[in-house]
Chain A
Amino acid sequence: MPRRRGDEEDEDLEPEEDQEQAYDEEEEEEEEEEEERGMASRKRRRSNFIDDLAEEDDEEEEEEDDDDDDYGGGGGGRKHRPKRRLGSQFLDIEAQVDSDEDEEEEDAEDDFIVDGGADLPDDDVGRRIHRRPLLPREDEQEDVEALERRIQARYSRSAQPELDDETTDVEQQALLPSVRDPKLWMVKCAIGREREAVVCLMQKYIDKGPELQIRSAVALDHLKNYIYVEADKEAHVKEACKGLRSIFSQKVMLVPIREMTDVLSVESKAIDLSRDTWVRMKIGTYKGDLAKVVDVDNVRQRVTVKLIPRIDLQALANKLEGREVVKKKAFVPPPRFMNVDEARELHIRVERRRDPMTGDYFENIGGMLFKDGFLYKTVSMKSISSQNIKPTFDELEKFRQPGENGDSDMASLSTLFANRKKGHFLKGDAVIVVKGDLKNLKGWVEKVEEENVHIRPEMKDLPATLAVNEKELCKYFEPGNHVKVVSGTQEGATGMVVKVEQHVLIILSDTTKEHIRVFADDVVESSEVTSGVTRIGDYELHDLVLLDNLSFGVVIRVESEAFQVLKGVPDRPEIALVKLREIKCKIDKKISVQDRYKNTVSAKDVVRIIEGPCKGKQGPVEHIYRGVLFIYDRHHLEHAGFICAKAHCCIIVGGSRANGDRNGDSYSRLANLKTPPRIPQSPKRFSRGGPPIDSGGRHRGGRGHDGLVGTTVKIRLGPYKGYRGRVIEVKGATVRVELESQMKVVTVDRNSISDNVVVSTPYRDAPRYGIGSETPMHPSRTPLHPYMTPMRDPGATPIHDGMRTPMRDRAWNPYTPMSPPRDNWEDGNPGSWGTSPQYQAGSPPSRAYEAPTPGSGWANTPGGNYSEAGTPRDSSSAYANAPSPYLPSTPGGQPMTPNSVSYLPGTPGGQPMTPGTGGLDAMSPVIGGDSEGPYFVPDILVNVRRSGEESVVGIVREVLPDGSCRVVLGSSGNGDTITALPNEMEIVGPRKNDKIKIMAGVLRGATGKLIGVDGSDGIVKVDDTLDVKILDLVLLAKLAQP
């Protein structure tokens, strides 16, 4: 830009050389130019003395003249341009229009509006004015007359703009367009060609001259699709636009006089830049940093700001000593207050100077000014943003550090207040006046108008209401108020106000019991108790979650995008910050474990830790998983009160609630004590795979059937089909059942009962059986168990959930003591009940089944119900009616087990096996029999979990006829090959977008992609057919990556 260059030259010359000389030179230069320019420039010069808008006609002529000069001569215009530019600094506003258009023609990079405004000449002049006083000496050396002459000469030229600066409002008003002035028309043009359209108009004007009766044309950068044309009549506009392709002149809209000024007014960004405003840096090292304005130079458009320096002293020292500085661009030093002593230690020269203007002392280091550790930096107004600055609390705190006092707070408040949302104050809010005469007056908001808030003052003698400017008010809270944070980083948190420090509140958070500092402005009074966000996705605060790497933990804090999880590592608290996607699933099941003295501990029992770092802590057990207890101790302030401890490091305190002693059963507790030490889990697991006890007549021999006694069964066949009852006695192939609905004991064939009604099928299968009587039950189930499958423990195959425990759970008769001493049955049939509930770590989450099942409520079946802690699965009662005849009590039942035979024949409902499809049997021979176990298919990912070992991910390579699988360990299939029993494997549940393999159903073996999950159903796109199917998630396994 030639003109710019001219300015810079001036600038460069002035400070270094003698001022006077510089000016003289400048003058000479200018004069020369002017001479060259002849008539036109003289006219222009004259125009400087003319009130720019008042004599419009004149100016227009001028304008035309200009144009003639410049363009009339054809190509000559271009040659002259650089010089003309120089002179154009002194053009008046009107005349400048063409120069701008000109510029645009040449190079459109400049902001049209800014150039179009009058600021450049003003600026130039202003700068000169400003510089004068900086050089006071100059005057002394000259005689006054010479000075006068010089000033005369100089200022006569710029007098006009100078006056402009000081125009009063009235004068400004006079400049506004009136009815007699030409009007502004808005004309549609092609999008993106606004400038082009205007240039075309200009060219047309040049070509046609006065024939074209429009006055001006303007394109605004921010307005697409339209240009403005100034003309007296619409017809003129249309005429002018005729023939221009980029302009659509069919519709020409008149801009109302009122709005005309708005069209061309330039938004001045610097308007509210004043001292003590908070701003942010836009560029450079300090980009994004908060800064405080300490001085504003409106004339030079420069601002002095106070920043927390980001200076690498070492690098600075190197630089100053002339050593090679390694340029590390990526590294931005952290903000830190400048420590002068430190700097001196590095042999950086620190000068202490007094600023001549303010009288303050600054440390000068390498040309940078520091004071109180802050960096004072003078930057261009353009390099800071002052709009919508919301300093965070921390930032403000930092700024306060060295400076302390409260006064500056008030100033910073004003910025904060400027960012208030509309409707900040509501009727009834308690407020306090923070500024002005009424400072510290408290009151209540009565009415809110635009800017003013009417408050009812607390003091008696004052008028009923006072109108106070919104900016002078601040919300007021008292210690003890319960509040909710509605904006800022702590948004959503609630707590009680502990202390009020002016506009800053200290709140004791409800959940974390920690102090939070917030602005009073960000808070509203609320009785709501939340911890802020308490859930993301499916996971909530205090949930037990399984993480990606198979570790687990309790969510102790929910942050905006992540959870803080207290990991299930006993002995030392381990906190992990996990993202939503890193969480595999929620673990939501009722498991019970044994404490040090072999008492059963289940969730909600109060335990005391007797070993380890948290020794002595005590509290209710919130979660149990893999022998680890998560205990909530409200006195424990860390980790949201959660403590993680091994079960055997704890002792139960008082009775186990879950054991039902709430109901007054003292003997259940007793039973606990009597409980013989349990056999470790794993052996049981195996036994699960063994001959299922359930319906199989053959295996019922010996103690085996004792297990059936007392269980609630359902009769599947014969005249009593559909009846439920309690088994009283087992005699060979028949059982005697006491019917629930009739006071009667009937004898039925062993094969025609489904003895594990309690356990029944997994809920998801149920509906498919379509057995009428059950149906009503099912709906309730599904919602209850949304999480079942995924959370199971490894080793438990998803499909089992329902059927594991043949019975007993107290859930369905909550008030019954579940307590027949458990050893009864345990001792009685250890073998056959190998899968007894206690051992099922993986048993599905129990959802308390609240409504007592009719009929069963009072059945204190001795053998059956008491499995208290042992059977965490309260929910199973829900299944009580489930029609699954074949569902053995063998959850892990291995295929091929003979027992399947036993019931298969007789079972009406019985083709099942594979839920959902009767026909499946044929398809899944492997699974034969009743095993409800997972229908492992090759190429799926499984977690192999063997007793006493960590679970390992593996890929099923081959399914052996006996149901066990050859599994290659390692998720990529490069590990050892082992043979695993079905009950040692757990299918890795697929997640959205995973490739899956369907394990059961007509589509068994098919692969596909899980495109969505809806509750317990997965939406699957089948690879072969590209059909989209909705399948139960349990039937889906994650496909190993080839």
Chain B
Amino acid sequence: MFFHIVLERNMQLHPRHFGRNLRENLVSKLMKDVEGTCSGRHGFVVAITGIENIGKGLIRDGTGFVTFPVKYQCVVFRPFKGEILEAVVTMVNKMGFFAEAGPVQIFVSNHLIPDDMEFQIGDMPNYTTSDGSVKIQKDSEVRLKIIGTRVDATEIFCIGTIKDDFLGVINDPSAG
């Protein structure tokens, strides 16, 4: 799920950036530092949409670095248990398949794939129904439900299922 929230961060700025463009430097550094990161609480920071407020800088003794408390608005993405997501399959193997929804990696175990879908090994490993009408392979788009999440410092990993009503392939590249 996406959220638009305000976060705060202490930015350290090298003195060489001081000057007219200090603010720009600060913001660009903030973007570099923050966008794409992941925190357990808020999930992935997708984009910074604005700066609320930059506090007073504090010069750090000895280094000349200045610390600015910066409040910024950003869009974050955090997957939740039970959430239904659409994701792109990135890899298929006999244990299941991996899919990505933006920065989030989701694993769908073969136990959580409908029983009528069988793993087919080959050049393009895939899961296929017995009648061959539905096929999950790399780059397929699937709709899945997240049943578990694990949040690390740097990534969020989810386990999903497509063994439920209205879940499964929504767009098959090979069909198109």
Binding site for B on A (CB under 8 A): 479-482, 496-499, 506, 508, 510, 513-515, 529, 634-635, 637, 662-664, 815-816, 851-852, 854-855, 857-858
Contacts and interface: CB of A to CB of B under 8 A. Distances in A.
A510 B28 CA distance: 35
Contacts of A663: 14
Contact of A480 (B28, B93, B148): B148
Contact of B32 (A482, A498, A664): A664
B167 interface: no
B111 A499 contact: yes
B152 A496 contact: no
Interface string B27-68: 011001000000000000000000000000000011111000
A726 B65 CA distance: 20
B64 A634 contact: no
Contact of B15 (A498, A529, A855, A858): A858
A816 B64 CA distance: 12
Contacts of B61: 854
A529 B154 CA distance: 13
B16 to A, nearest CB: 7
A480 B91 contact: no
Contacts of B152: 529
B111 A854 contact: no
A481 B150 contact: no
B150 A496 contact: yes
Contacts of A815: 12, 14, 65
A198 B161 CA distance: 73
Nearest to A815: B14
B129 interface: no
A479 B64 contact: no
Contacts of A852: 62-63, 65
Contact of B159 (A498, A635, A851): A498
A595 B65 CA distance: 34
21 contacts: A479-B147, A480-B146, A480-B149, A480-B159, A496-B148, A498-B109, A498-B111, A499-B109, A499-B112, A506-B111, A508-B95, A513-B95, A514-B95, A529-B150, A529-B152, A634-B105, A664-B32, A815-B12, A857-B63, A857-B65, A858-B16
B127 interface: no
A851 B60 CA distance: 11
Interface string B9-34: 00010111000000000001100100
Contacts of A529: 150, 152
B107 interface: yes
Which A-B residue pairs are the 4 nearest by beta carbons?
A480-B148, A480-B147, A854-B62, A499-B111
A706 B36 CA distance: 43
A635 B105 CA distance: 10
Nearest to B147: A480
Nearest to B111: A499
A120 B146 CA distance: 66
A635 B148 contact: no
B4 interface: no
A572 to B, nearest CB: 20
A479 B150 contact: no
A498 B112 contact: yes
Contacts of B149: 480
A855 B61 CA distance: 10
A195 to B, nearest CB: 62
Given A496-B159, A514-B95, A515-B95, A482 B109 contact: no
A516 B12 CA distance: 45
Contacts of A858: 14-16, 63-64
A532 to B, nearest CB: 15
A482 to B, nearest CB: 6
Interface in B93-130: 93, 95-96, 98, 105, 107, 109, 111-112
Nearest to B98: A635
A208 to B, nearest CB: 79
Contact of B148 (A497, A664, A816, A857): A497
B159 A479 contact: yes
Contacts of A496: 148, 150, 159
A664 B28 contact: yes
A857 B95 CA distance: 51
B29 A664 contact: yes
B64 A508 contact: no
Contacts of B29: 664
B171 interface: no
A65 B130 CA distance: 88
Residue among A510, A664, A815 with max Cβ neighbours from chain B (10 Å): A815
Nearest to B82: A480
A481 B148 CA distance: 6
B73 interface: no
Contacts of B91: 635, 637
Nearest to A638: B93
A591 to B, nearest CB: 24
Contacts of B16: 858
Contacts of A637: 91, 93
A653 B142 CA distance: 29
Given A854-B63, A858-B16, 16 more contacts: A479-B148, A480-B148, A481-B148, A498-B109, A498-B111, A499-B111, A499-B112, A510-B150, A513-B107, A515-B109, A635-B91, A662-B32, A664-B28, A815-B14, A816-B14, A855-B62
A482 B161 CA distance: 15
B47 to A, nearest CB: 19
A479 B112 contact: yes
Contacts of B28: 664
A66 B155 CA distance: 86
Contacts of A816: 14
A550 B165 CA distance: 56
A497 B112 CA distance: 11
A436 to B, nearest CB: 28
A513 B157 CA distance: 11
A816 to B, nearest CB: 8
A854 B161 CA distance: 54
B109 A857 contact: no
A976 B112 CA distance: 64
A510 B105 CA distance: 13
Nearest to A510: B150
Nearest to B17: A664
Nearest to A478: B147
A847 B19 CA distance: 33
A635 B138 CA distance: 12
B118 to A, nearest CB: 17
Nearest to B91: A635
